[in-house]
Amino acid sequence: MSFKFDPNRPIYLQIIEEIKKRTVRGQYLVGTQLPSVREMARAMGVNPNTMARAYMELERESFISSRRGQGSFICDDPRRLDAERRRLAEAARGQFVSEIGDLGLDAKQIEELLAPIRGELNHDRD
Amino acid sequence: MSFKFDPNRPIYLQIIEEIKKRTVRGQYLVGTQLPSVREMARAMGVNPNTMARAYMELERESFISSRRGQGSFICDDPRRLDAERRRLAEAARGQFVSEIGDLGLDAKQIEELLAPIRGELNHDRD
Amino acid sequence: MSFKFDPNRPIYLQIIEEIKKRTVRGQYLVGTQLPSVREMARAMGVNPNTMARAYMELERESFISSRRGQGSFICDDPRRLDAERRRLAEAARGQFVSEIGDLGLDAKQIEELLAPIRGELNHDRD
Amino acid sequence: MSFKFDPNRPIYLQIIEEIKKRTVRGQYLVGTQLPSVREMARAMGVNPNTMARAYMELERESFISSRRGQGSFICDDPRRLDAERRRLAEAARGQFVSEIGDLGLDAKQIEELLAPIRGELNHDRD
DNA sequence: GTGGTCTAGACCACC
DNA sequence: GTGGTCTAGACCACC
């Protein structure tokens, strides 16, 4: 099953986000070689040109670095990944707050809604 | 501007969710007449048949009640709406937790992430 | 609400059946004047010519008798009505048996199905 | 010869009833694949969309289960079919009683009417 | 091949 | 006007 894109937004931007997410989740290890443009293109079901553009952008942001003849490697600066992680986390929080915000919940309902979050997250880490 | 749909999921299901969201947000008042099938179809830029299917599902769930020749009306049972509100809120929390969960945040980062939520939500209600 | 016809069968035949049913049910009293062709046609939502044909057939069967200038009257022979009543009852039984027949019910299920009939019918007559 | 529908009632509801009847009569075997939507539509002389709606309702009731790319299958729970059988039988009885009820039969006539039923049904099963 | 969704356009019953 | 049903024909995902 190839990756599912929202056709209303540029595909190469969605690819960039996806690769960043996978990286901060540990699916691509720091300093390790990323799948080649062609392989990743095939895996996500997109045109290799589109994937090449995504890799180019990621390199421009210094999220990956491509070495001629060797391939592309995840940035090995931990602060860079941490910043990305924080950015993704805050984006998720922002969307959550905006979806919840105009639901008309009263204070008690908000408490009940938020209470399990910490627990679920800690449990996930056990 | 017609409503934006995710083409990867059935439109009629997205319409159902959208109408529920609008209702719990108070955009459609309980017991009040909903825009007609044709009008809502025009407003969202879909075929009237697709909208009719969405309304049909909503009636099957007792979220609205439709009367031939008269129109469609939001269910006037406040518990029904409250249940829907809770369901939407929990779905948003679930997605938030799942997006955050495998980001590899440590306890301190989680605290920093969650801290502002309550404040933002209360601020929205002022 | 005008009468509902099955368009797959001649309307005048359905009218004849309907008038006979109403009569044996006592909706038209023996010896009493039937509504005029035009009135009955309007009531059932059919063309007066169609209704006239139905009346003609009913008279040919001696179920009603039309007296010039006075109108149409239900046959006053009680045996005639009794025969009609029996015919309708047996037709209903025949349809019931045929619908039940190939349902694959075992003897016990048939017993349970038939048991309440007598009771319901007697109860209806109290 | 395509199936005969009563034009006064929705075709898709009549299709549903017909498929249930055929199933309890053993024309479609439990767990077996039903004719495809298109084939059944052709056989009954209706539009594939109408047939799809009937199948969709049948699946919602768990009378069949449909799998994309594979086909639709009769529910393999014998209790489900037995319940349907009972429902059809009781519906037939109900219509019979209602047609008979206001015919004005006396007790003796009712006895004569009911007497042959058991015999006819048992005869059908020999 | 299979079922699932969507559009387009028609006609109906009810108000 | 309103919702409900039906046909015709298309395209999709899954097998």
CA closest to C1' of E8 belongs to: B47
The CA-atom distances, in angstroms, between B124 and each of A98, B91, C20, C102 are 9, 20, 72, 66
Structural tokens at position B69: 């020749």
CA–C1' span, A97 to F3, in Å? 37
Q: Could you give the CA distance from residue A80 to residue A23 in angstroms, rounded to a whole number?
A: 11
Range D104-108, long-range pairs (CB < 8 A, 24+ positions): D104/C24, D104/C25, D104/C26, D104/C85, D105/C85, D105/C89, D105/C121, D107/C122
* B68 to chain A, closest Cα gap in Å: 31
Cβ of B38 less than 7 A from strand F: yes
* Strand E nucleotides within 7 Å of a protein CB: 1-10, 13-15
How many other C-beta atoms can be found within 10 angstroms of the C-beta atom of residue A124? 12
- Contacts of residue B20, defined as CB under 8 A and 6 or more positions apart, other chains included, come to B58, B63, B84, B88
Q: Could you give the CA distance from residue B114 to residue A114 in angstroms, rounded to a whole number?
A: 9
Cβ of D46 less than 7 A from strand F: yes
Q: Could you give the CA distance from residue A26 to residue C2 in angstroms, rounded to a whole number?
A: 73
Global confidence as pTM: 0.82
CA–C1' span, D4 to E14, in Å? 26
CA–C1' span, A4 to F11, in Å? 18
Cβ atoms of C63 and C77 closer than 8 Å: no
Amino acid occupying residue B95: Q
Q: How confident is the model at residue D125 (pLDDT cuts 50, 70, 90)?
A: very low
User: What pLDDT score does B3 carry?
Assistant: 87
Give SS3 for B46. Answer: coil
User: What pLDDT score does A125 carry?
Assistant: 46
The predicted-structure confidence for B61-86, as pLDDT tens digits, reads as follows 999 999 999 999 999 888 888 889 99
- Name the nt closest to D52 by C-alpha to C1': E3
The predicted-structure confidence for D11-57, as pLDDT tens digits, reads as follows 999 999 999 999 998 899 888 899 999 999 999 999 999 999 999 99
